[in-house]
Amino acid sequence: MNELDAEKFELINNTILPEAVHFWERALMVRETKNTIRLNRKCESSQVFVKDHHTYCIDTCRTTTMCGEVNVPEEHLDVCRTCNATGHNCGVQKGSVAGKGIDGADFVFYVSALQSERCHNGLTVAYAAHCQQESALDRPIAGHANLCPGSISTKAQELETLLSTVKHEILHALGFSVSLYAFYRNENGEPRTPRRTETGKPPLNEKLQTHQWSDDTIKTIIRPEWQVHGGSIKRSMQMIVTPRVKEEVRAHFLCDDLEGAELEDQGEDGTALTHWEKRVFENEAMTGTHTQNPVYSRITLALMEDTGWYRANYSMAQQLGWGRKLGCDFAMKSCKEWISTKFGNSRTRFIHPFCNKVKQDPLRTECTDDRSSVALCNLVEHSQPLPKTYQNFDFIPDVPKDRVQYYGGSVSLADFCPYIQEFTWRAKNIVVRGSHCLYEENNPQPAKNFALEQYGAKSRCFEHTDRMWEERTCKQARQWQHWGSGCYQYSCKHGRLHIIVSNYTYTCYHAGQELAIRIMQNDWLHKGAIKCPSCKDICQAEFHARGEWCKPSEEDPPPTVYHRDNLICANAHVFSSSLIIISITSLILISR
């Protein structure tokens, strides 16, 4: 079932879905329970009887059985089993025949593309759930996902996020779901949560309308001194505490006291408890919203292994840079405490990955920590004071003290903690280009390429100096108000980092060195400067692979050579020019 146009259908059906399935086929090995997969028929009544691992309807089954938004084919369905209203006279309904089912598969996944009510007018990208579990180990054997057509883009720079979204939804159906935690098993195949003798299933949680898990799977953790604006509060959180998850999350943050991996506590039905906490795991792909560069880390693979249903291939894990090796202060305390401690320390003002620079004109961009993107601090003013729990500042530079409680990050799932984030340029609410350096499609139009940027496969983000970039002719001069960083090509040769600007190569001799840029292009003289990062930050891995290394820093590099900087003019008119609206957005992913 789909409402996709031909181009989107071709992309999803022939590229995105096969790649997503192939990824999980390589990343997870199933603990097999070899049986033909047949789905139970749905009942007219919400009351059912369970006997001998089979579901029995009262009197009759529905004429159609849905898995999500998909009508399950007759050949995939089991026979209709019924009992009378008292649970007697149970058996196969007369004339009912089982379909041939699906042989040779561990899991069947039904995919639809309908702009359903849950798509929330384009805010939700997709949602997913499992439809059925097998009887031996409770492993999910069927699931579904619905992709919201209005949120699907075929632009090349957005395909990585689309692929990650589909992989994300598949994983919900495979086991990362609030409705499945109570069925997790240990490495010996024994239930982590005790079962009720009369039903053989875990107890019910009527508030959540799902089966209740044990403290061996998810535990409530209390932080008695959680710092917020003006003081502290008591904060409770839910954490996955299974063995491999605990081991991986402690290794990631370098924090042996960390109890487990924190789950999301915000969002609508299907977001809370079914994703990693955004504040703690920002760009891990199994958080509740994609904001930039989603990765599937060892922590997520560890969770799937702790279900007892899979073995994980950790070579498929991607490195999660967020919070890596930042210790217990980062993993176990509020972002308010992290920011206040780092910003208030006279020895350092390094507060990454969080930030405290308000998004406003003139825009001052930065680089993401991995230098993959031009980025902005997503700290914005909200229309009303944030809830006390999410007031993360006592002080913000250039913000009146009585307005501080109105300020927070633009991503609510991250507890309104502000951080450096990729963004898009928009004109009339249409995406013009993104800020990820690796995509050629993000190159600015020549007339707007004031800082002579170059996006592409061999590009990284480099900071500008504190001076605005200028463009000059003999008749006029322009100062661009949006600056701070840009994407440029680079090379690692002869023990040095070399930054390439408009086909001119500038060599970095030490970190912090300022490269003065003076280049004539399209009849304009472009004037600005780029700051060199450390050679090791950019080139160490590449040099190591070739058996080379970065040369020692030289504090006195050769004199700067200016390129064609011989523009001599009089009475030039100076004016400012700004770029189109910049949008920092997040794509919501939900599941049950």
pLDDT in tens, 315-343: 999 999 999 999 999 999 999 999 999 87
- CATH number for the domain spanning 62: value is 3.10.170.20
pLDDT of residue 477: 87
Q: Specify the DSSP class assigned to residue 357.
A: -
Please indicate, yes or no, whether residues 529 and 454 belong to a single structural domain of this protein. Answer: yes
Residues 6+ apart with CB under 8 A from 547: none
User: 369 pLDDT exceeds 90?
Assistant: no
**Residues catalogued as catalytic:** 169
- CATH number for the domain spanning 310: value is 3.90.132.10
Q: How confident is the model at residue 348 (pLDDT cuts 50, 70, 90)?
A: very low
Q: What is the mean pLDDT of residues 133-161?
A: 90
Lowest mean per-residue pLDDT among 100-104, 188-192, 216-220, 355-359: 355-359
CA 249-369-343 angle, 5° bins: 85
CA 16-17-20 angle, 5° bins: 85
Q: CA-to-CA distance for 27 and 20, rounded, in angstroms?
A: 11
193 located within any domain: no
Q: How confident is the model at residue 554 (pLDDT cuts 50, 70, 90)?
A: confident
Q: How confident is the model at residue 576 (pLDDT cuts 50, 70, 90)?
A: very low
What is the percentage of the chain residues whose pLDDT exceeds 90? 70
What are the beta bridge partners of residue 460? 488
**Phi, psi dihedral angles at 112 (to 5 degrees):** -125, 165
pLDDT of residue 210: 92
Please indicate, yes or no, whether residues 344 and 404 belong to a single structural domain of this protein. Answer: yes
Q: What is the mean pLDDT of residues 447-474?
A: 92
Q: CA-to-CA distance for 515 and 532, rounded, in angstroms?
A: 7
Closest listed residue to residue 148, CA positions, set 53, 262, 68: 68
Amino acid code (one letter) for 244: R
Token pair for 329: 């202060």
How far lies 97's CA from each of 41, 64, 115, in Å?
11, 14, 34
User: Any known ligand binding at 53?
Assistant: no
Please indicate, yes or no, whether residues 340 and 297 belong to a single structural domain of this protein. Answer: no
Token pair for 206: 């009527």
Q: Show which of 371, 398, 422 is a domain's final residue.
A: 422
Amino acid code (one letter) for 440: E
Residues 6+ apart with CB under 8 A from 61: 41, 42, 43, 44, 80, 81, 82, 93, 96
pLDDT of residue 117: 87
CB atoms within 10 A of CB 253: 23
Q: CA-to-CA distance for 433 and 157, rounded, in angstroms?
A: 8
Q: Show which of 183, 214, 238 is a domain's final residue.
A: 183
pLDDT of residue 571: 42
Lowest mean per-residue pLDDT among 50-59, 314-323, 408-417, 514-523: 50-59
Lowest mean per-residue pLDDT among 12-21, 359-368, 562-571: 562-571
Q: Provide the residue range defining the domain that includes 86.
A: 6-183
Q: How confident is the model at residue 349 (pLDDT cuts 50, 70, 90)?
A: low
pLDDT of residue 345: 57
User: Any known ligand binding at 275?
Assistant: yes
Strand order in the sheet with 514-521: 514-521, 524-531, 470-472, 476-480, 573-577
Please indicate, yes or no, whether residues 531 and 502 belong to a single structural domain of this protein. Answer: yes
Burial call 79-116: b when 16+ CB within 10 Å, e when fewer: bbbbbeeeeeeeeeeeeeebbebbeeebbbbbbbbbbb
% helix / strand / coil in the chain, to the nearest 5? 20, 30, 50
167 located within any domain: yes
How far lies 64's CA from each of 84, 128, 380, 387, in Å?
21, 20, 49, 46
End-to-end CA distance of the chain: 20
530 located within any domain: yes
Q: How confident is the model at residue 573 (pLDDT cuts 50, 70, 90)?
A: very low
Q: CA-to-CA distance for 103 and 75, rounded, in angstroms?
A: 12
Closest listed residue to residue 550, CA positions, set 564, 562, 533: 533
405 located within any domain: yes
Question: What's the mean pLDDT when you consider all of the chain?
Answer: 89
Lowest mean per-residue pLDDT among 76-85, 95-104, 495-504, 578-587: 578-587
**Phi, psi dihedral angles at 121 (to 5 degrees):** 55, 40
Closest listed residue to residue 174, CA positions, set 143, 201, 147: 143
Please indicate, yes or no, whether residues 451 and 504 belong to a single structural domain of this protein. Answer: yes
- The tally of domains found in the chain comes to 4
Please indicate, yes or no, whether residues 104 and 213 belong to a single structural domain of this protein. Answer: no
447 located within any domain: yes
- CATH number for the domain spanning 407: value is 2.10.55.10
Strand 514-521 versus strand 582-583 pairing type: unpaired
Q: How confident is the model at residue 567 (pLDDT cuts 50, 70, 90)?
A: low
Q: Show which of 398, 422, 446 is a domain's final residue.
A: 422
Please indicate, yes or no, whether residues 60 and 173 belong to a single structural domain of this protein. Answer: yes
User: 578 pLDDT exceeds 50?
Assistant: no
Lowest mean per-residue pLDDT among 200-209, 255-264, 379-388: 200-209
Q: How confident is the model at residue 587 (pLDDT cuts 50, 70, 90)?
A: low
Q: CA-to-CA distance for 309 and 325, rounded, in angstroms?
A: 30
Instruction: Give the model confidence (pLDDT) of 379-413 as tens digits.
Output: 999 999 999 999 999 999 889 999 999 999 999 99
User: 581 pLDDT exceeds 80?
Assistant: no
User: 580 pLDDT exceeds 90?
Assistant: no
Please indicate, yes or no, whether residues 412 and 482 belong to a single structural domain of this protein. Answer: no
Q: CA-to-CA distance for 211 and 207, rounded, in angstroms?
A: 10
Residues 6+ apart with CB under 8 A from 435: 365, 373, 374, 375, 422, 423, 424, 425, 442, 487
What is the percentage of the chain residues whose pLDDT exceeds 70? 92
196 located within any domain: no
pLDDT of residue 238: 98
188 located within any domain: no
Please indicate, yes or no, whether residues 318 and 398 belong to a single structural domain of this protein. Answer: no
Residue 522 CB-density burial (10 A; 0-12 exposed, 13-18 middle, 19+ buried)? exposed
Please indicate, yes or no, whether residues 407 and 434 belong to a single structural domain of this protein. Answer: no
User: Any known ligand binding at 544?
Assistant: no
User: 32 pLDDT exceeds 50?
Assistant: yes
Counting every residue written for the chain, the total comes to 592
194 located within any domain: no
pLDDT of residue 35: 83
Please indicate, yes or no, whether residues 537 and 500 belong to a single structural domain of this protein. Answer: yes
Q: How confident is the model at residue 591 (pLDDT cuts 50, 70, 90)?
A: low
Please indicate, yes or no, whether residues 46 and 148 belong to a single structural domain of this protein. Answer: yes
Q: CA-to-CA distance for 286 and 170, rounded, in angstroms?
A: 11
Lowest mean per-residue pLDDT among 240-254, 443-457, 571-585: 571-585
